Structure 1
Amino acid sequence: MSMVEGVDGRAMQHCETTALGVLLRHEGLDLSESMLFGLGSGLSFIYWDSKAMGFPFLGGRVKPFELTRNLATLLGLELVVGETTSPRKGWQNVAALIDAGRPVGLQLDSYHLDYFSTKVHFGGHVVAMYGYDEENAYLVDTAPQGGAVTTGLAGLARARAERGPMTARHRSFTLTAPGGLPSPQDRIIPAIKTCADAFLNPPIANLGHRGIGKAAQQVPKWLERSDDPGEDLPRAAVLMEKAGTGGALFRNLYRDFLAECAQLIDSRHLRTGHSLYGEAAGLWSQVAALVAAAGASGEAADLVQAGSILHDLSRIEREAMQALSML
């Protein structure tokens, strides 16, 4: 058995921020989940649909691992990433670090993890690993998945080797604060402005505030888009509200980040952004409830109302990011 000593396995709502929290606390840097998410410029929006997909996907954050890269760059942390096509080498990369007393982040497909409550393929899942024995790996996952958990080594190997959307090749990573602990407070404004700029100037129409506008047009047609609305629509609602998003498609996390920032920085632009994201968070929860209701009833009226709220959200979030871009 090999176990990293002194790991604080505090579980959070979202997978990547949970793993980052474990790694950074081991380095002596203890930040709230909302601060990790915000400093990583994690908020985004994507409306993703293609002929190959059974049903559209609404995403509320930047793509997997981008948050980690953003956070490391912003705080001047040393991010060391291991990737390989070899399962044997992938395991050696991880075991050597744990043997040396370092917790390790892993990106993998949650489908193969023993403890996962819902068996769906998601290749962008991130966990922290802090130990192993002959049969099991010792991980920290989100609070909804159980926090400090174990999974069989064979399943872990399959999860790391899986190919498909958002997967990575046996990706493992560590974070180090090489020049002493950074001061996150000094990096708040650059992180917010980076996030706002990407949101306001998306390269394609299904991202950022334009993507929310596209969702407003498409969601009212979801009953016709689905082969099984009774299953697809409630699942879409759960993905918005519960699947590691912290609620309201990550808007609760960003609202709380802006609230924390407003206590540190006196800025009317920041207060405006916080107020508008508070409004947006409540509206996203309404959208999720309406989508779930339409799945249960088969009534298009709920989706029409959801589309109307999404039009409002496109405007509200654009105004919020415009205010925040002026910091």
Structure 2
Amino acid sequence: MKNIINLPHVVCKYTCMVNGIGDVYRFKTGQTFSDEFLMAVSGMASFVYIKNKKAEPPFMVFWGQSIKNQYRNLEQVLGLKIKITEGKSFNLAMKLLREGINSRNPVIIGPLDMFYLEYHEFFNKKHAFPHFVLVVGYDDNDRKIFLYDCDSADLRKLSYENLKIAWEKDEPGYIKKNAVITFSLSDIPLSFDESVKAGLILKASQMLNPPIKSLGVPGVRKLAVEFPDWEKFLGSNDYKMALENMARYANSPPTLSRAFNDFTGKREDFSKLLKELGTITHEKRLLSLSESFSTSGKLIREISLIILDKLDGKSDRRKFIPQLLMKVADIEEEAYGEIKGIYNE
């Protein structure tokens, strides 16, 4: 059996977990939200500090929220209903995929290792993980799915064989293998201005007043205090993995490769988004606040490069990381406070 849904697609690199939602949302509502906006309000350019003795590594830093929290945030801001089914068998995941397509609802799948995506430039060359795509069709006779990737304008094909390999690994602390994300839209979506206000207020509240002190701005301060003792509490391999994790998830895509050279924890993208929103909504204060996040992004890049230099055996400037983290916390605490002030919260 073969079934394909025709859908307009927008290319927006490094927005894979929301790119498909953006395509469907724009098509069904006529709203013009950028994928950068969806990424920002979902929880990117955030902060999470996890300590779990049973995890590898036991200390983990993410410069954005977990994918489940990101989708919950999008439910609030856009009025979506999102369901994640993960960790099941490949055959069950394919069954859910087909059910979505047959009911005319594209589905997002992941986490994928781009090394096994035969249409991608990384195929058999570079492991980049995790990645997500929007599936809009399947062909059981040819044994291929049809998908849109945030990196490409073209409708792509992926064989069932390569999909199974690309899809078979968990991303610890993030999402399990063979995840299928289904979603539906509200009958009455919020207006553009209402969604911008709701999204920025939610983001500011989560960064300033998180439910636990290892998240948001308090989490950055907690890490700044505890980072000097990491090496004492962790074995050498766990410590190396913790450093790698901290730098990797500051980059887009999440990789230690300097070739991509972002390492801003999505702050640079958030800065550009605030400029765009400031222009569209005529709110000049957002334009000035964009500079704050550009600055914090540069500090996060500096932290990441210090880590990479240490890992590469080039130099050891780790002693500067705590004070750089405190600067990030100070800048973002003030900036998010101003965002709440703009919307009288």
What residue is the counterpart of 1:190 in the other structure? 198
What residue identity is the alignment partner of 1:171?
Answer: V
Q: 1:248 aligns with which of 247, 264, 277?
A: 264
Give the stretch that moved more between structures: 264-273 or 145-154. 145-154
What residue is the counterpart of 2:277 in the other structure? 261
What residue is the counterpart of 1:130 in the other structure? 136
What residue is the counterpart of 2:259 in the other structure? none
- Kept after mapping to 1: 8 A contact 2:144/2:157: yes
What residue is the counterpart of 1:304 in the other structure? 319
Report the CA distance between 1:170 and its aligned residue: 4.3
Q: What's the CA shift string for 1:66-85, capped at 9, x where partnerless?
A: 333322332334x2536485
- Kept after mapping to 2: 8 A contact 1:23/1:128: no
1:316 to 2:328 alignment: no
Report the CA distance between 1:217 and its aligned residue: 2.9
- In structure 2, runs of 5+ residues without a counterpart are 256-261
- Kept after mapping to 2: 8 A contact 1:42/1:61: yes
Larger helix proportion of the pair: 1
Report the CA distance between 1:118 and its aligned residue: 5.0
Provide the C-alpha distance between the structure 2 equivalents of 1:80 and 1:47, rounded to a whole number of angstroms: 25
CA, structure 1 residues 206+26, in 2 after alignment: closer, same or farther (shift >3 Å)?
Answer: same
1:23 to 2:32 alignment: no
CA, structure 1 residues 233+146, in 2 after alignment: closer, same or farther (shift >3 Å)?
Answer: farther
- Kept after mapping to 2: 8 A contact 1:72/1:175: no
What residue is the counterpart of 1:50 in the other structure? 52
CA, structure 1 residues 130+260, in 2 after alignment: closer, same or farther (shift >3 Å)?
Answer: same
What residue is the counterpart of 1:239 in the other structure? 249
3-state SS of 2:6 partner? coil
Task: Tell me the number of residue pairs that the alignment of Structure 1 and Structure 2 aligns.
Answer: 320
3-state SS of 2:72 partner? helix
Provide the C-alpha distance between the structure 2 equivalents of 1:42 and 1:230, rounded to a whole number of angstroms: 24
Identity %: 18
Q: What's the CA shift string for 1:101-134, capped at 9, x where partnerless?
A: 432223x332497226654775xx5321112223
1:104 to 2:112 alignment: no
1:209-220 counterparts in 2 under 5 A?
A: 209-220=217-228
1:73 to 2:76 alignment: yes
1:13 to 2:23 alignment: no
Report the CA distance between 1:287 and its aligned residue: 1.3
Q: 1:178 aligns with which of 184, 187, 202?
A: 187
Report the CA distance between 1:255 and its aligned residue: 1.3
Q: What's the CA shift string for 1:129-163, capped at 9, x where partnerless?
A: 112223222233343x9986543325545766766
What residue identity is the alignment partner of 1:178?
Answer: D
Report the CA distance between 1:89 and its aligned residue: 4.9
Q: What's the CA shift string for 1:287-327, capped at 9, x where partnerless?
A: 11111112122744x11122221111111111111111212
Query: What is the TM-score of this pair, normalised by structure 2?
Result: 0.77
Q: 2:216 aligns with which of 184, 193, 208?
A: 208
- Kept after mapping to 2: 8 A contact 1:240/1:288: yes
Q: What's the CA shift string for 1:2-53, capped at 9, x where partnerless?
A: 2222441524213212222232243244422221123435442012233223
CA, structure 1 residues 265+7, in 2 after alignment: closer, same or farther (shift >3 Å)?
Answer: closer
Provide the C-alpha distance between the structure 2 equivalents of 1:309 and 1:240, rounded to a whole number of angstroms: 14
3-state SS of 1:240 partner? coil
3-state SS of 1:248 partner? coil
Give the stretch that moved more between structures: 152-161 or 22-31. 152-161
CA, structure 1 residues 148+173, in 2 after alignment: closer, same or farther (shift >3 Å)?
Answer: same
What residue identity is the alignment partner of 1:261?
Answer: L
Q: 1:151 aligns with which of 146, 158, 161?
A: 158
RMSD: 3.4
- Kept after mapping to 2: 8 A contact 1:114/1:151: no
What residue identity is the alignment partner of 1:212?
Answer: V
Q: 2:149 aligns with which of 138, 141, 154?
A: 141
- Kept after mapping to 1: 8 A contact 2:45/2:64: yes
Provide the C-alpha distance between the structure 1 equivalents of 2:72 and 2:242, rounded to a whole number of angstroms: 32
CA, structure 1 residues 148+250, in 2 after alignment: closer, same or farther (shift >3 Å)?
Answer: farther
Query: What is the TM-score of this pair, normalised by structure 1?
Result: 0.81
- Kept after mapping to 2: 8 A contact 1:94/1:172: no
